[in-house]
Amino acid sequence: MEHSAVDPHAEPEERAVEAALRPASLADFEGQPRVSDQLGLVLAAARHRGTTPDHVLLSGPPGLGKTTLAMIIASEMGAPLRISSGPAIQHAGDLAAILSGLVEGEVFFLDEIHRMSRPAEEMLYLAMEDFRVDVVVGKGPGATAIPIEIPPFTLVGATTRSGMLPSPLRDRFGFTANLDFYEDMALQHIVMRSADVLGVPLDAESGMEIAMRSRGTPRIANRLLRRVRDYAEVKHAGRVDRRITAEALELYEVDPLGLDRLDRAVLESICTKFAGGPVGLSTLAISVGEETETVEEVAEPFLVRLGFLMRTPRGRVATRRAWEHLGLTPPAAQDLFGS
């Protein structure tokens, strides 16, 4: 499947570009004022006491700034940053090797922490609480556990599925931040800042046009900005205004509400092929020619958030708003859903 312009997950080649656009301090981190204020207090208190900050859990959909916040925590504390991910830690020994190599005060960022293996997870409990790991040497009845002291560190865990974290792990985090989708005005500020970094002559109206189509997600906003830049350079000698911005985003099939080809295909399939639903997820995925996971993780959350789609025990149902957005007339029964 081609990578959608509004997929909130990062492609590997995007990471270098994203790094250049990340804010370096909490003062520059826009769009999550509650999280910024609370986290700033946690870090300031730790600096005042001369201790490492509490372990931090960052929860929320992809693309909202969890990795950026981990980098900011390390920067604000003047500490080194170690980065790993749950899928990369499949054995307790993998985690022990990382933890035993930490220096005092280091920030250890563990992305997708909910995907870590259970043995490593149990080792992490002890490391977070007592700053110690027990390394088992030998096998069977003769195996012995050798305790290894590790220096105080701050774990920053990131997850898109906090419900999958076991309670013993969640309880060991001193501070939990739930990141929300961004308002259009905050996204406009982020886009304008990124445009300055990239050297794109973007005006406020064009910045708002990009923001409104970005599904509340900074990663998508920055990606759309780069697509607009490319379009303007090739078609308009680098000139950017609101009309050119809208033309570029229409070319990439991102409509004024942020729906892309897949979103519209899902809605059209439910409305025209299945009379508005209900329809099962696997049947829906086959009808639009996509993987079930793609429909469930990329299209559905946004369509539900807009009020275009409902998940029911019998399957997915299009609301009246979805019919109206597609310019279709809903059956009388559809008046029961949506407003």
Question: Which residues are part of the catalytic machinery?
Answer: 66-67, 111, 160, 219
In contact, 293 and 246? CB cutoff 8 Å: no
In angstroms and rounded to an integer, the radius of gyration of the C-alpha atoms of the chain is: 23
Between the CA of residue 105 and those of 20, 161, 219, what are the distances in Å? 25, 27, 29
| CA–CA distance, 169 with 25 (Å, rounded to integer) | 28
Between the CA of residue 76 and those of 26, 43, 47, 135, 151, what are the distances in Å? 8, 8, 9, 33, 19
Which residues, in sequence order, are bridge partners of residue 147? 134
**DSSP-based helix, strand, coil % in the chain, nearest 5:** 55, 15, 35
* Region of residue 78 (left: phi > 0; alpha: psi -120 to 50; beta: else): left
Angle subtended at Cα 108 by Cα 78 and Cα 91, rounded to the nearest 5 degrees: 160
Place of tokens 């990340």: 22
Per-residue buried b or exposed e for 178-211, using 16+ beta carbons within 10 Å of the residue's own CB: ebebbebebbbbbbbbbbeeeebebeeebbbbbb
In contact, 144 and 137? CB cutoff 8 Å: yes
